[in-house]
């Protein structure tokens, strides 16, 4: 692999191996393995793939994973009832409700119903509040994975100008909080760009580290980056590819071919941020088990 390409699969193996060792130790100390329950509502094919990968990741590291599948007609109260049962289940350390939920269900209410001590997705306002207050407990998995990628590849964000494209509650906002925290993996100067930002191209060019999380295929082109940029691509977009068996392919928010000519390091899609997200979810589940 080209040395400038950040190998998300290899890095995720590293993290999973560390989690696996800690799970073994925990089991020796307490006699039990951590438990992760994933609630999947409906039949969105992308969500089904993500959930399957999470289950597989849990199996790999010795976490007891279970997937609770509910029909897309499930009501908000029915989903909350399942979450409440998991809240009081002593064998369940971590709860993740796969998003997006069907439109008739209020994601905010469901997230609020999760016990903050089992909220391994880090999306409960209690945990996002702790992060914003500089005392992170469960950090959302994708931002946590990105910080690990930077630190583990010698691209520590300390003192550097990081431009984050996107301000979602899942990626952009927690990531910008995390990068500006005091301490290892933080201490960056962070600019957050979003759909209302005016001079986005100029801001992108001023980035030493550019992280794109907007969901627009190949939005960042080479004229938007400076030589030597570290480019992290969070986007997972399906675009039509009639020559492929499936009829589509996955691309990121960064135009890999052109930006990789200028970047000093860049993540591919697939094989970049995605695998790290799963590894960090497993790491959060281990933390949850330690807190119980
Ligand atoms: P979102 O739709 O919730 O948020 C998109 C953000 O982009 C918004 O904050 C919006 O203001 C901003 N935006 C939209 N148009 C813009 C523009 N032209 N310029 C600048 N900002 C703009 O999306 P999300 O959930 O944060 O996901 C973003 C992408 O990351 C998606 O492709 C998603 O599939 C992917 N994703 C990947 C992982 C992973 O593990 N790799 C995890 C979560 C999301």
**What burial letters (b/e) apply to 244-281, b meaning 16+ CB within 10 Å?**
eeeeeebbbbbbbebbbebbebbbbbebbbbbbbbbbb
Going from the Cα of 104 to the center of ligand 1, the distance in angstroms, rounded, reads 22
Q: Which atom of ligand 1 is nearest to the CA of 171?
A: 26
Q: Which atom of ligand 1 is nearest to the CA of 215?
A: 32
How many residues does the structure list for the chain? 292
Q: Which residue's alpha carbon is nearest to atom 40 within ligand 1?
A: 274
Task: Summarize pLDDT for 190-213 with one digit per residue, the tens.
Answer: 999 999 999 999 999 999 999 999
Fold exhibited by the domain 141-275: Rossmann fold (3.40.50)
Q: Is the CB of 273 under 6 A from ligand 1?
A: yes
Specify the pLDDT at position 37: 98
Going from the Cα of 62 to the center of ligand 1, the distance in angstroms, rounded, reads 32
What are the residue boundaries of the structural domains of the chain, listed by start? Answer: 31-116, 141-275
Q: Which residue's alpha carbon is nearest to atom 13 within ligand 1?
A: 195
Q: Which residue's alpha carbon is nearest to atom 34 within ligand 1?
A: 236
Q: Is the CB of 82 under 6 A from ligand 1?
A: no
Domain covering 31-116: architecture: 3-Layer(aba) Sandwich (3.40)
Q: Which residue's alpha carbon is nearest to atom 24 within ligand 1?
A: 168
Specify the pLDDT at position 2: 77
What CA–CA distance (Å, rounded) separates 14 from 27?
20
Q: Which atom of ligand 1 is nearest to the CA of 172?
A: 26
Domains 31-116 and 141-275 in one fold? yes
Task: Summarize pLDDT for 12-69 with one digit per residue, the tens.
Answer: 999 999 999 999 999 999 999 999 999 999 999 999 999 999 999 999 999 999 999 9
Specify the pLDDT at position 292: 87
Active site (catalytic) residues: 54, 98, 121
**Whether the Cβ atoms of residue 63 and residue 33 lie closer than 8 Å to each other:** yes
Q: Is the CB of 166 under 6 A from ligand 1?
A: yes
Q: Is the CB of 200 under 6 A from ligand 1?
A: yes
Which region holds residue 159: left if phi is over 0, alpha if psi is between -120 and 50, else beta?
Answer: left
**pTM of full prediction above 0.85:** yes
CA 265 vs CA 77, 176, 184, 278: distances in Å: 46, 20, 20, 22
Going from the Cα of 169 to the center of ligand 1, the distance in angstroms, rounded, reads 10
Specify the pLDDT at position 267: 98
Going from the Cα of 25 to the center of ligand 1, the distance in angstroms, rounded, reads 37
Going from the Cα of 97 to the center of ligand 1, the distance in angstroms, rounded, reads 19
Specify the pLDDT at position 39: 98
Regions of the chain where pLDDT drops below 70: 1
**Whether the Cβ atoms of residue 43 and residue 61 lie closer than 8 Å to each other:** no
Specify the pLDDT at position 1: 59
Specify the pLDDT at position 36: 98
């Amino acid at each position: 692999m080209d040395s400038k390409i950040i190998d998300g699969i290899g890095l995720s193996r590293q993290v999973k191996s560390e989690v696996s060792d800690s799970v073994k130790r925990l089991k020796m100390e307490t006699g039990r393995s951590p438990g992760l329950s994933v609630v999947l509502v409906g039949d969105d094919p992308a969500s089904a793939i993500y959930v399957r990968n999470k289950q597989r990741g849990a199996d790999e590291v010795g976490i007891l994973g279970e997937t609770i599948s509910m029909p897309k007609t499930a009501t908000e109260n029915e989903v909350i009832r399942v979450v409440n049962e998991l809240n009081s289940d002593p064998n369940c350390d971590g709860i993740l409700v796969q998003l997006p939920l069907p439109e008739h269900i209020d994601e905010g209410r469901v997230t609020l119903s999760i016990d903050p001590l089992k909220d391994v997705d880090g999306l409960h306002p209690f945990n996002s509040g702790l992060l914003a207050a500089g005392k992170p407990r469960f950090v959302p998995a994708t931002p946590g994975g990105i910080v690990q990628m930077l630190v583990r590849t010698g691209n520590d964000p300390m003192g550097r100008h990081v431009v984050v494209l996107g301000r979602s509650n899942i990626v952009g906002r927690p990531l910008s909080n995390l990068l500006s925290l005091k301490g290892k993996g933080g201490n960056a100067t962070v600019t957050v760009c979003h759909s209302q930002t005016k001079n986005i191209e100029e801001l992108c060019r001023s980035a030493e580290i550019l992280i794109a999380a907007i969901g627009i295929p190949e939005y960042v082109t080479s004229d938007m980056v400076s030589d030597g940029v570290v480019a992290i691509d969070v986007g997972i977009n399906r675009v039509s590819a009639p020559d492929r068996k499936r009829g589509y392919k996955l691309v990121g928010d960064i135009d890999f071919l052109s930006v990789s000519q200028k970047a000093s390091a860049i993540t591919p899609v697939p094989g970049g941020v995605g695998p790290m997200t799963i590894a960090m979810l497993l790491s959060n589940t281990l933390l949850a088990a330690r807190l119980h």
